[in-house]
Amino acid sequence: MFKHTLLASALVATLASGPATADAISGDKIKIGVLTDMAAVYADLSGTGSVIAAEMAVQDFGGTVLGKPIEVVSADHQNKADIAVSKAREWIDAEGVDMITDLVTSSVALAVQEVGREKNRVTMATGAASSQLTGKSCSPRGFHWAYDTFSLANGTGTAVVKNGGDSWFFITADYAFGHALEGDVSDIVKANGGTVVGAVRHPFPSSDFASFLLQAQASGAKIVGLANAGSDTINAIKQAAEFGIVEGGQNLAGLLMFVTDIHSLGLKAAKGLYMTTGWYWDLNDETRAWAARFEQKAGKKPTMIQVGTYSAVLSYLKAIEKAGTDEAGAVAETLRSMPVNDVFAKGGMVYANGRMAHDMYLAQVKTPAQSSGAWDYLNIVHTIPARQAFQDPAKSGCAVIN
């Protein structure tokens, strides 16, 4: 009798312990995939820098989680959603990748988030802008980390009006993204007591902004809002400098801009421009130290996307440790319950729709005289608290939480 009980309990013990240890970490390794643009338009603001940032996060975490090694893999999606999707599927199906991050370009992030939903994997978009990731298309496994269109537009809209820029004229890219951006910011400007005196739409993509800038100049608005992105924004700012818009007393407001854009434009063209950013290297001692470490490896200062990738990877690893497993559902739950405190965000909170809310900063580009040299580009005008910077999840249209 006793013998049998012993045998049975031993059996139960092996059965119970066997799968449990095997389940904790699938594939005996944590694999983090950085899927980004390595060579084209977004390579500067994400690209190799994001891979370096992810590796720094692994290093800072200690190289292992729950006693298992952590590996970072990366691939170039060339800004094509179909390449990104097949790579993501291959990573998950054949190579055991546990989490995919960076995902610059909204079409890529939206598509890969769907793959994550289907395959039960955590995706953490840091590079993509679209608020839709945590809105209409939100997923219980999808997170959006560094910034989004809402926070950039909202931050710039609110803060600029409060700082005296109460009449706006928009130069808008003529497609859904531009229209949405213009609509969002117009509402915010009006809600804060400002006025919108006019708007003009330009074809996407465009290289000649002369006629649009002339209309903006003639409108007499204090602020010319650029509801476009990428090369359109760059071209518009360059040509605005040629027209002397800033000298004429008007200010530009970029609604989707990065510090690397300022770097390539130069302060002469970009001076006086308002923009919202989720992070800047020159905020405090901690950010300066981190940026210096990053610069040693990458040869340039990090963008908010790259630091965002660092923060996302670090938070993911912390969540695995806390959850005691790498199963995506449990990790996602833990991520939602943990505050984010690292070099990127202080007191950041992850909303139920997957949006990580943190303080954003309204910045104005320095004049060449104010700047002390390379990368000294921004004056932080105003800190936008997390709750105001990001959209209230209840209004995001995310079906997961409602």
Partner 1 sequence: MWSSSLQRRLPRIVDMPRMTIVAGIIVLGALLVLPQFIYPVFLMKAMCFALFACAFNLLLGFTGLLSFGHAAFFGSASYISAHALKVWGFTPELAILAATLNSALLGYLFAYVAIRRQGIYFAMITLALSQMVFFAALQLPFTGGEDGIQAVPRGALFGFIDLSDNRTLYFFVLAIFLFGLFAVWRIVHSPFGQILKAIRENETRAMSLGYRVDYYKLVVFVLSATLSGLAGGTKALVVQVASLTDVTWQMSGEVVLMTLLGGMGTIFGPAVGATVVLSLQNYLSSLGSLVTIIIGVIFVVCVLAFRRGIVGELQARWPRRNQ
Positions that interact with partner 1 (CB under 8 A): 38-39, 43, 47-48, 51, 73-83, 85-87, 89-90, 93-94, 106-107, 110-111, 114, 117-118, 130, 132, 137, 174-177, 204
Residues in the chain: 402
Is the Cβ of residue 41 or residue 292 nearer to partner 1 in the bound state? 41
Nearer to partner 1, 173 or 312 (CB): 173
Residue 285 Cβ vs partner 1, minimum distance, rounded to whole Å: 32
Which residue bears the tokens 């997390």? Answer: 386
Minimum CB separation of residue 161 from partner 1 in Å reads 28
Tokens representing 286 are 């901690």
The amino acid present at 8, given as its one-letter code, is A
From the list 132, 237, 227, the residue with the least C-alpha distance to 185 is: 227
Structural tokens at position 236: 């518009």
**Whether the Cβ atoms of residue 97 and residue 308 lie closer than 8 Å to each other:** no
Please enumerate in sequence order all residues whose Cβ is within 8 A of that of 73, keeping only pairs 6 or more positions apart, or say none.
Answer: 31, 32, 33, 34, 91, 95, 97
- CB 41 to partner 1: min, Å: 12
Longest C-alpha distance within the chain, in Å? 97
Q: Closer to partner 1 by CB, 131 or 151: give it.
A: 131
How, if at all, do strands 195-202 and 251-254 pair? unpaired
User: Are residues 103 and 125 in contact, defined by beta-carbon separation less than 8 angstroms?
Assistant: yes
User: Considering the complex, what minimum distance in angstroms separates the CB of residue 179 from partner 1?
Assistant: 9
Helices 47-61 and 304-323 pack at an angle, to 10 degrees, of 30
| CB hemisphere CA count around 135 (13 angstroms) | 15
Do residues 154 and 184 lie in contact, with contact meaning Cβ atoms separated by under 8 Å?
Answer: yes
Task: Output the smallest distance, CB 53 to partner 1, in A.
Answer: 15
Cα distance between residue 180 and residue 150, in whole Å: 10
Between 58 and 129, name the residue whose CB sits nearer to partner 1. Answer: 129
d(CA 199, CA 195): 12
Q: Which is nearer to partner 1, 83 or 401 (CB)?
A: 83
Q: How far is the CB of 318 from partner 1 (least distance, A)?
A: 27
CB of 106 to partner 1, least distance (A): 5
Query: Between 76 and 182, whose beta carbon lies closer to partner 1?
Result: 76
Checking DSSP bridges between strand 223-227 and strand 251-254, what pairing results, if any? parallel
d(CA 322, CA 334): 7
Which has the closest alpha carbon to 113: 137, 79, 82, 78?
137
Residue with tokens 């699938």: 26
Q: Which is nearer to partner 1, 24 or 85 (CB)?
A: 85
Comparing CA positions, the residue from 257, 275, 264 lying closest to residue 375 is 264
Complex with partner 1: residue 107 or 367, whichever CB lies closer: 107
Q: Which is nearer to partner 1, 143 or 168 (CB)?
A: 143
CB of 83 to partner 1, least distance (A): 6
**Shortest CB 97 distance to partner 1, Å:** 12
Nearer to partner 1, 24 or 83 (CB): 83
> In a 3-state reduction of DSSP, which class is residue 71?
strand
The single residue listed with the structure tokens 């298309």 is 137
One-letter amino acid of 185: V
Least gap, CB of 258 to partner 1 (angstroms)? 18
Which of 170, 146, 134 shows the shortest CA–CA distance to 306?
146
Output 201 or 222, the one with its CB closest to partner 1. Answer: 201
- Closest approach, Cβ 50 to partner 1, in A, equals 11
